[in-house]
Amino acid sequence: MAKSPQVWYIPVPVGRAEATAAEQAQSPGDLSCFAQGSKYLKNTTENMTKMTVRRPLITLAAAILLISSLASGLYVLRLDGVIREKFDGKRWSLPAVVYARPLELYAGLAFSPKMLEDELQLAGYRNDSDDSRPGGFRRQGDTIHIVSRDFQYPSGPEKSERITVRFTADRVQAIEQTGTAVPLDLVRIDPARIGSFHPIEHEDRLLLQRAELPDLLIKTLLAVEDQHFFEHRGVAPSSIMRALLANLRAGSTVQGGSTLSQQLVKNFYLSNERTLLRKINEAIMALLLELHYSKDEILTAYANEIFLGQDGGRAVHGFGLASQFYFRRDLADLSAEQVALLVGIIKGPTFFDPRKKPEDCHKRRDLVLGIMHSHDIINEAEYRQATAAPLIRDGQIMSGFNRFPAFLDLIKRQLRQEYREEDLQSEGLKILTTLDPQVQWQVERHLARTLTDLEKQAGRSQLEGAAVVTNRENGEILALAGGRQATAGGFNRAIEAKRPIGSLIKPAVYLTALGQGYTLASPLEDRAVVLQEKGAKTWRPENYDKKEHGRVPLYLALANSYNLATINLGLKIGVDKVIATAAALGMPGKPEPYPSFLLGTAEMSPLEVSQMYQTLASDGFFIPQRAITSVLAADNTLLKRFGLSVEQRFPAETIFLLNTALQRAISEGTAHSLSRYLPAATAVAGKTGTTDNLRDSWFAGFTGDRLAVVWVGRDDNTPAGVTGSSGALPVWGEIMRALHPQTLALQQPPGIEWAKIDKQTLAAPGLFGADSTLLPFLAGTGPDRETILPSLDTEKIEKKAKGVLNTVRGWFE
């Protein structure tokens, strides 16, 4: 029996139809199946080879896709974190805002209508016929109608009030409520914003809540910038396509396709670079922004963030600040044409700047008004009225960028002792200060003018100066100028210029002597002295006039600023004692007790000198000068109040004697030329100061209400060519004349007696003595033969005494 042939079944990956055909073809004894199987084996091998080659490619592609998806997801998560971190946290760094003192008005105040107008303008009030809204005023002759603004003071809020102020002869005659005529004893006008402390980017804004955004603004903004804002989810493809087609037709960029959300993302998170990556990021972040936050939140953030102009070095952001900057109005008070201008500026604050490109801005504004009209936001009559309105009235734009840089520098230096730099630049602090704009303006004006006049008279150029004015009673710094170009900033000479003070130190010498038993009549030797110290050259001090004046009374040595008398006196009472007195007055540092200190080699700034003389002006009480009254947080919480600090450092009787001698420096001494600027009845007390080779010119003095210190010199320390009486004194005199100072009436303390002395013998005058003067003494220290006169009216006594003596002398002529 023959064996059946062996059949090989080879599994092959074929379709089901092929498999059935193959199975039917297979039968015992049919050798064709072997060939068929070989064919299938070959095909299988080829397929497996191809699959072996493709599998790594597929795996690689899958891996790349997976990694890309993960990377994209992580990138989106990172962008999401950026969005939420900044939007949920503190969105903006708010600069500290600095305010001047509030203006208090009352009947009888010496204040002219022009002064009130100037101060209202500085505070951002608008002068127009519509005085019904807060922040407006209107002048009618000698009457000014004001609608004050709400303001948060440390003591609490003060609401807006409508008031009428009437003037007579440059004085406030009466104040009353507008409409009711109810008299008001005192009104307080909210203070002017005089500057702010910014971070590096110098952004500024007034933050608004959603409820503070008027419907007129919202409707106009959406009609112009994003008509489908409440419909899209951050990106509007239809808007992008529409803008693309419009730009292609125009051949340039004439329309943007970005939504408000995209614009906010670009301004808030991204740079202005024009790259594909930035555009992709903008779209992704806009979608994420809409995912997490409501439309109202996004709209409010946009209204506070958008850049709308430049104020010098300050960037104006947000509609709130732009409204104040361009129109001096709150956002809610803007008219249709004013809203149209702000919305129109969004497209290009530089290209449509109403100050620099008024024609382009006008066209853009009217274009926006046309859109408002077509969208029924305003009617036909409103549209015609708005297009006919002027762009911006003259003087309406209000700069708020550090109007008084030298004073702002002082404020910042004092705040650094209490707050970190980043707090000043980001926490939105409100700093209430002592700056009096009226005083500051006069200081700036007359410092610059008088220096120009001095340059012409002395034939010198590049003279510089600095000035400080304070309140005599409480030490508040009312004004400070660091140079003749007051608004330029830079080197602040009032604070940073440390120069020898010359004869301004002499009151410390004579105050020390009066405290050791000397009197104003004590004889001093104004004679040459030669001083030699180890390791130093022989020093031969001289008087300014190169003369010796022999035996002189103490008061006259101070009034005439005799160097030799001062040196001899200082050496007797002790240089170290004089230094201690100067330190008690307020001099900083610890100078070496060299004799030259007695003639003013100590270097001090005008502000430091002002602190010394403040103690003299305050009757011996040391009052730290201050420029800040209080600091409030962004939410108006009181953080710190800078109260008045007083410490008595010298007996009132001794200070009274010294200040009387300083009044003599004005009436008959080195500062007698002050009579050109102020009447003698003002009774100013003061002292001139001049340093070697006329390098520095000083004058420090005080009236009944103010103390002022002026320095004049050159920044390169070369001779200025002016003395204290010919340089600094004229500046001081011009400033004070403009401020109409009060008469200085020194308060005589108990224990003071007045007596006459003979100017030649320095003793009690004889019966027929004609050359005498009346001086105050501590009780029991006057001349031997005299009539004690306790009266304060020394001028009247002096006149009566001279009248009697002249009568007696006439008997013998």
Task: Give the total number of structural domains in the chain.
Answer: 5
Question: Does residue 347 lie in a domain region?
Answer: yes
What pLDDT does residue 420 have?
77
Strands 621-622 and 647-648: antiparallel
What pLDDT does residue 39 have?
57
502-512 pLDDT per residue, tens: 999 999 999 99
Question: Does residue 339 lie in a domain region?
Answer: yes
Question: Does residue 135 lie in a domain region?
Answer: yes
Least trusted range by pLDDT, from 384-398, 403-417, 606-620: 384-398
Whether residue 534 has pLDDT greater than 80: no
Q: Which of 197-201, 444-448, 760-764 has the highest mean pLDDT?
A: 444-448
Least trusted range by pLDDT, from 226-235, 429-438, 567-576: 226-235
Whether residue 353 has pLDDT greater than 50: yes
Whether residue 17 has pLDDT greater than 50: no
What pLDDT does residue 8 have?
37
CA proximity to 789, closest of 776, 778, 800 = 776
Question: Does residue 162 lie in a domain region?
Answer: yes
User: Hey, which residues does 467 pair with through a beta bridge?
Assistant: 481, 710
Whether residue 794 has pLDDT greater than 60: no
Same domain membership, residue 334 and residue 249: no
Mean pLDDT of 19-30: 41
CA proximity to 198, closest of 327, 302, 309, 316 = 316
| pTM > 0.75: yes or no | yes
Q: How many CB atoms lie within 10 A of CB 490?
A: 11
The CATH number of the domain holding residue 146 is 3.30.2060.10
Residue positions annotated with a catalytic role: 225, 503
Mean pLDDT of 57-74: 74
| Domain termination residue (choose one: 88, 123, 152) | 88
Mean pLDDT of 485-493: 86
Do 678 and 671 contact (CB within 8 A), yes or no? no
Q: Helix or strand or coil: residue 44?
A: helix
Specify the higher pLDDT residue, 425 or 733. 733
What pLDDT does residue 45 have?
56
What pLDDT does residue 417 have?
81
Q: Which of 242-256, 409-423, 461-475 has the highest mean pLDDT?
A: 461-475
Domain hosting 339: range is 307-400
Same domain membership, residue 273 and residue 238: yes
73-101 pLDDT per residue, tens: 776 776 676 677 667 665 677 778 899 99
* Locus of tokens 């609401």: 159
User: Hey, which residues does 500 pair with through a beta bridge?
Assistant: 603
| Domain termination residue (choose one: 400, 426, 450) | 400
Confidence at 200, pLDDT banded by 50, 70, 90:
low
Same domain membership, residue 301 and residue 248: yes
Whether residue 36 has pLDDT greater than 70: no
Same domain membership, residue 318 and residue 300: no
d(CA 799, CA 562): 27
Confidence at 12, pLDDT banded by 50, 70, 90:
very low
Mean pLDDT of 680-698: 97
| Domain termination residue (choose one: 376, 400, 424) | 400
750-789 pLDDT per residue, tens: 999 999 999 888 888 876 656 899 999 999 999 864 444 4
Do 264 and 298 contact (CB within 8 A), yes or no? yes
Same domain membership, residue 375 and residue 344: yes
Question: Does residue 610 lie in a domain region?
Answer: no
The CATH number of the domain holding residue 298 is 1.10.3810.10
Q: What is the mean pLDDT of the chain?
A: 85
Q: Return the sign of the alpha-carbon dihedral for residues 507, 511, 513, 518.
A: positive
Do 641 and 695 contact (CB within 8 A), yes or no? no
d(CA 304, CA 296): 12
Same domain membership, residue 394 and residue 313: yes
Mean pLDDT of 554-577: 98
Whether residue 279 has pLDDT greater than 80: no
Mean pLDDT of 589-613: 96
What pLDDT does residue 395 have?
58
Same domain membership, residue 301 and residue 312: no
Whether residue 9 has pLDDT greater than 50: no
Do 701 and 672 contact (CB within 8 A), yes or no? no
d(CA 444, CA 31): 121
What pLDDT does residue 106 have?
96
Strands 203-204 and 314-317: parallel
Mean pLDDT of 311-334: 86
Whether residue 144 has pLDDT greater than 50: yes
Same domain membership, residue 296 and residue 311: no
Confidence at 805, pLDDT banded by 50, 70, 90:
very low
In this structure, which amino acid lies at residue 220? T
Question: Does residue 706 lie in a domain region?
Answer: no
Same domain membership, residue 125 and residue 76: no
Confidence at 126, pLDDT banded by 50, 70, 90:
confident
What pLDDT does residue 243 have?
60
Same domain membership, residue 317 and residue 296: no
Question: Does residue 161 lie in a domain region?
Answer: yes
What pLDDT does residue 83 have?
72
d(CA 461, CA 33): 120
Mean pLDDT of 105-112: 96
Whether residue 254 has pLDDT greater than 50: no
Which residues are CB-neighbours of 221 under 8 A, at least 6 positions away?
260, 303, 343
What pLDDT does residue 789 have?
41
Identify the helix (H) or strand (E) that includes residue 42.
Answer: helix 32-88
Same domain membership, residue 83 and residue 16: yes
Same domain membership, residue 270 and residue 233: yes
Confidence at 242, pLDDT banded by 50, 70, 90:
low
Question: Does residue 107 lie in a domain region?
Answer: yes
User: Hey, which residues does 707 pair with through a beta bridge?
Assistant: 470, 702
d(CA 137, CA 354): 24
